[in-house]
Amino acid sequence: MRNRFDMQLRQLDCELIQLGAMIEHAIAGAAKALLECDAEKAHEVAGLDDGIDQKERDIERLCLKLLLQQQPVARDLRQISAALKMITDMERIGDQAADIAEIAVMLAGRGEPLLGSAHIGDMARATIRMVSDSVDAFVKKDLELTRAVVRYDDVVDDLFDEVKNDLIRFIAQNSACGEQAIDFLMVAKYFERIGDHATNIAEWVEFSITGQHKDETE
């Protein structure tokens, strides 16, 4: 019976890795669509959201199956309950990538030259790293990696400030680009939220390893 349970726990790891890969692909695709004014790519990213939602439901069913059909010990219970919390944040990341894709479609439809946006690309890469490392830490039970992810959220926050400063300068130089600046600020805010969700994921990974969650220690 335990062998079967261990096999299902390994399946849970694999499913989370797949979901992580899906949302990383969505983030990267949304950023690419935005920066290249590629409406077709943006529509493709928006279409990924249904698959992400389905994968979340599949993992939720697997977790409930493990809880109801087995008798998990405390360590296993932490792993399963952490996974249930993680997939909520992962699904929301998928939603925010789709939101960025929708803004990309709108900007592409205007046919206007884009504002300088190097920090937007940097934010995308930073949040992808956070998601990837969070899932990797869960599978490897790597406590130091989870804490590194939490610390790395400061990088995303700093980049958000850089984007805001860039946009203030653009508006000061050309008030006509104000509408586009607001759109880019919204994109940057979505990336900041993705970083926050990745931080939440890492904190639940830490709970799965240590039995303590940040909220319980404050």
User: pTM of whole model > 0.95?
Assistant: no
Q: Is the pLDDT of residue 97 over 90?
A: yes
Domain range for 38? 2-217
Split into its structural domains, the chain has a count of 1
Which tops the pLDDT comparison, 111 or 99? 99
% of the chain at pLDDT higher than 70: 94
Q: Which residue has the tokens 């490897």?
A: 140
In angstroms, rounded to a whole number, what is the distance separating the alpha carbons of residues 33 and 158? 23
> How confident is residue 170, by pLDDT bands cut at 50, 70 and 90?
confident
* Spatial contact of 23 and 97, defined as CB atoms under 8 Å apart: yes
Which CATH number is 154's domain given? Answer: 1.20.58.220
Identify the pLDDT of residue 115.
Answer: 67
Tokens of 193: 């939220």
| Three-state secondary-structure class, residue 3 | helix
* Spatial contact of 138 and 10, defined as CB atoms under 8 Å apart: no
What distances in angstroms separate CA 203 from CA 68, 112, 170, 184, 199, one per listed residue?
A: 25, 41, 37, 29, 6
**Residue pLDDT, tens place only, 32-75:** 999 888 999 999 999 999 999 999 999 999 999 998 887 778 88
Per the rule left: phi > 0, alpha: psi between -120 and 50, beta: everything else, 72 is beta
* Spatial contact of 92 and 52, defined as CB atoms under 8 Å apart: no
